[in-house]
Structures are given as structure tokens and as C-alpha cells.
Amino acid sequence: MKVIKRDGSIVEYNSLKIVSALEHANKEVQEEERILKKDIRRIIRYIEKLDKKRILVEDIQDIIELKLMEFGKYVLAKKYIVYRYNRALVRKQNTTDESILSLIKNQRTSVNTEHVNKNARLVSAQRDLIAGEVSRDLTKRILLPENIVTAHEKGVLYFHDASYFLQPIFNSSYIQIQDMFDKGTVMNAKEIKSPKSFSVACNIMTQMIASTSSSQYGGQTISVIPFGKYIHISKEKCREELKGIPIARRELEEIVRYRLNAEVEVGVQTIEYQINTLMTANGQSPPLTLVLELDEEDVYIEETARIIEEVLKRKLKGMRDQEQGTVIPDFPKLVYVLSEINTGSGKYTYLTDLALQCAKRQNGFRFLSKKMAIQNYKEEISLMGNSHFFLGRKKSGCLNEGIVTLNLPQIAFLSNKDETEFFRILKERMELAIDTLLRRHYALLGTSSTVSPLHYQYGAIARLSALEKIDGLLQEETATLSLGYIGLKETIWYMRGSSLYEKSGKNLALKILKSIRNQLDKMREQTHLGFVLYQTPSNRVASYFYDVDCMYHLGKMDSYTVGFGIDKNYLYEERLKIENEFHILTTGGSVSQVLKEEIIDEKEFIENIYNTNVYVEVVNEEGDKYYENRFKNSSN
């Protein structure tokens, strides 16, 4: 049996600790009020017969109190209760000591799984994690109302922003790189003028990203399209330098082409190396996503295509690690946009062939269909703040204020398969989740542009004046509030005993998401804030919900599925078509997965994505497996 302590750590159950605690308590009372050793053993047997996989330390203490009173040891029980109360007061005065010390000593194994982009052994990362512990503690004790804190602790919802709630800081963003290039910017009170070459643009961009990343806690996205112009500038600069040299025009163009290719290679390599070696103030590499897209109306489309080609080639080549092995770096993450000009008989299908090679080599490569984005969202393309968020309606300069995720399986278990009861609980919990998101929004209201000048004054998000409030940016056009969900597949299996891909299961799943969307859309209409529905992809959150529900509701389970999972009972073509019906509702972000082993006909695979599904990730391994008999025991 595992015991969950107050700081969230898990230890092995040890009955000797109960014996020791009660023997110490015995010394505080008269002999006739003391508990006998045989009765201590009876308490221990009762706890052990519960046969729980996990139990809260508070639950063990509650049982001890009740048993003491059953044995008529009221004075001893009172002493024990007072002792617990005094200890709780001490903890309430300072609840971070133990967690911070264990973090510094590297005794918190959960830290490395929670912050996969941070090395918790580094002092720079520890500094940020310590700040997060303090913020989480103050958020829990002071900044959030008790009902929201309790909801998080009981797995009703997950409040993602606790580590940063103390500060006026947001989650993810889509950076206005074009604006910063064209108008120049300011970093560390130093003016940065518009780049005069492609290589300089690449260098400046990585510095911008590292700087802005230090003032937010989620990912950043930029498009490659603004870079095309600077290849053209480099080309013209090269021609000017060679002007007057007595060589044939053809030879001159060959020299220009050679030098330009070399600059593109160096520039793209600079992006890759800088992003993977720079460290932000958060103790991590900047979590950058590059959107590889082509625009038919772009006068520099050929230059943009050359950049995309080089980015894909660099990703295929990989980097050398400290042991001299080749690794595929995590960043920048790539999202390849499919359109008419790079599918079918389009001019740029050679880029799509390269993207497929990357997808087969790198776990988590993503394709976004421009056609389906327009069809689903009535937008040219739905933009990302990192590789899974969809942000506001503007082309750039968007941000995500924060995330709250709902635990759908828990609602199913509490409803006992009664759908009327399920939707009653869902509505109730949606109100709480929306209230939590509003608190995230209110916490950012009144923030001055001076807290992050590069974001708010010098173009990354906006160009506000000094001391101007950012409130005008926190509207539906430019900012999202993401209401996430986890465990839709398990919920449907529990309620209906069917898969998401069967008619009965799919209909209920769509009904659930439509119900959530309706509440969010009403709030969007009332407040003009960017409430969106989001398919939370976090294994950490899924595990947290799973652990809590095992403790309170289930008993035995495998895990919760993040997203749709991969059900091999259905061909990926069938899955993509059905899952797109869910994407239509999840305007805040949703992704379908295909195993690379499932890609037999590459041309057919691309056509399937482009024509049937807005957003697809190719994965090298299955991840959370899904079996239809998972809930047979728990649903009986």
C-alpha cells in the first residue's frame, strides 16, 4: 500500500509509524486513558484490510481518531486531534520548506517528469522551480478560494497555472516576428534595427525568442514566411558586392546562388544551435515551434520554400550530443502546413516528401491541413502558441492566458452511468472551471506593459506605450482562455460500453463536447473573452487525475488516455475522418495521432490528412494503449 503525503509525495505504508505515534500520544494522558497494544494492532489491521493501493495520510489519521473514540479513549482522541490541528497550523504558516529542500537535494523525482524541458539539477532551473513552489503555495493558501483549491486536490479539475499565478505572466504566444523585423525592436534597452541579411535575421530571431521566453512560461510559435524577404535582401546584397567584376552573367548568378545557399544553411543551423543551447531565465531551452507554411500571394514564396527545405534537411540530419551520437533535437518543434501547392500535383510537393521523411524519423512531427482549417474554423489557418495550442483570430500577436482541465471520467463514475446526472454534474463543474479561468484573466488585468517590454512595447505581442495597461490585449481576438478535458475515451466506454468510433459512443462524445462548447460560447458572447475548448495533451495531468480517481472512485485501472489514443481496431483513415468531427468543436487545440508504421502509401497518407483532418501528429510509438476491456471490471 502506498501513502500519499501532504506535499504530494508517495511513500510505502509503514505500520510502525502508527504504533510510534500512538505510543507517544499515550505518554500525554493518564494511564486509564491510554490505548492498549492489542487495540493499536486492531486499528492497524482495520487500515490494512481496506486493501487500498493508495491512501492519503489524512485518511489514516481520520481512521485513527474514529477508532480511538470507538474504544472509548476520548481524552486520547482529543489530544490526537489537537496535535493534528497544531501541526496543520504550522504547515499553513509555511508549507514550502520540505518541498523546496527536497527539490534542492534532487529528491523530487516528480519534478523531472513534470518539467520535461528542464534539468532540475541545474541551479538556474532550481531557481525557477523554487519560485514555482512559492507561487503554488501562496496560490493555494491565499490567492484562490477554497472551493477551487479543493477541486484541484480532489481531481475535479486541474489548475495548470499555479506555479506562475503569483506573477502577471501568461502561458503561450504567437510572436509578431514580421513586425519586429520590419520596425525593429528593443532588447535589454538596446535598439535592434531591421535585419540587413538572412543570417542576421536568424540570429536576431533566436535572441528575441530567448528573451520573450524568459517572460512567459509556455511555448512560442513563429511562421517562416517573414524570413523569405531577408533571403531576397541577402541575394541583392551579394549581387551588389559582385557588381563590376568582369564575369559573365550566368557565372555571376552561380556565385550568388552558391553564396546564398551557404548563408541559408548557416542561418538555419544558427536557429537550431541557438535554440538548443541558449538558456532562458526559466532554466530551459526556449520552447519554440516553427510553422512551415507557404502563401501563394507571398512575393518571396521561392525564398520561403528554400528555408523550409533547409529546416527539414537540418531536422533529418540531427545534432551531435556530448557522447558524439546523433540526436534529433526537441526544438524547434515543426508544424508542416499542407495546402494546394504542396499536395497532389502542386509545385512544392518535394517539400512534403521531405516532411514525411522527418515524420518517420522524429517522434511527434505534425501536419496541419490549411483546407480543413478553413472548413472547420472558417479561418485561413488556426494558429498555435506552441505545438498544440490554437490561439486567437489574428494572424500573429496572440497569447494564451492560462488553462484549466476537466476530469471527465470522474463525472462518469459519480453519475453511475445516468446520463441526466452526468450532464447535471458536467454543467456544475463547467461553472466552476469557467470561474477558475476568469480568475486567471482577472489576475492579468491591470498589468503594465513595463513588466515585459519586449512583449508589450516592442512588437512581440503589441506596441503599447510605456505604463499602458495590457487589458485591451486580453480580448477574444488576441487572447485565449483554454478549457481542457482529459479522458473522453474512458468516459464513453464507462457510460456506453462502446468506442469513440462506434455510432453510440461517438454520438455521446459529441454531445458532451457540444455541451461544454455551448457553455463556453455563452461566456464568450457575454464577456467578449476568448474561451476555447482544448484537448489537453498532458500525460502528467492524466496521471494526476488517474491517481486521484483510483484513490476515491475506481480501484483498478490501467491509465487515462490523453487525446484519442490509437485504437488499432480501426484503420487510421477511419480514425482521422471521425476524429475531425471532434476537432471542429475543439477550437482551442486538438490533435489526432497516426503511428509511422501505419503509413504504407505516403501519397495516400498526405491526401487523407489534407482532405479529412485538420491536425495530425505522427508518433513512433503508441504511448497510452487503449483496450476495449479496460473498464470491464470497474463498470460492473
Sketch the domain layout of the chain as residue ranges.
2-93, 173-377, 398-635
CA distance 479 to 229: 28
The burial of 589, by beta-carbon neighbours within 10 Å (0-12 exposed, 13-18 middle, 19 or more buried), is given as buried
**Contact present, 482 and 589 (Cβ < 8 Å):** yes
pLDDT attached to residue 377: 85
pLDDT attached to residue 630: 38
Number of Cβ within 10 Å of residue 163's Cβ equals 21
pTM: 0.81
pLDDT attached to residue 512: 98
Closest CA to 122 of 110, 130, 133, 134: 130
CA distance 397 to 175: 5
Q: Give alpha helix (H) positions in 154-197.
A: 177-183
Query: Taking the chain (636 residues) in consecutive chunks of 10 residues, what is each chunk's mean pLDDT?
Result: 71 86 85 89 91 83 88 83 64 57 54 53 64 71 83 93 86 93 93 95 94 89 95 92 84 91 95 84 79 95 97 90 75 93 96 95 90 82 68 75 95 94 97 95 93 95 94 92 95 92 95 97 95 92 89 66 87 95 92 93 95 93 42 37
Beta strand pairing call for 54-56 and 2-4: parallel
pLDDT attached to residue 88: 61
Q: Is the dihedral of CA 223, 229, 231, 234 positive or negative?
A: negative
* DSSP letters spanning 592-624: EEEEGGG--SHHHHHHHHHHH-SEEEEESS--S
The CA-atom distances, in angstroms, between 223 and each of 160, 178, 214, 383, 435 are: 27, 9, 20, 10, 34
pLDDT attached to residue 56: 84
Q: Tell the CATH topology of 398-635.
A: Anaerobic Ribonucleotide-triphosphate Reductase Large Chain (3.20.70)
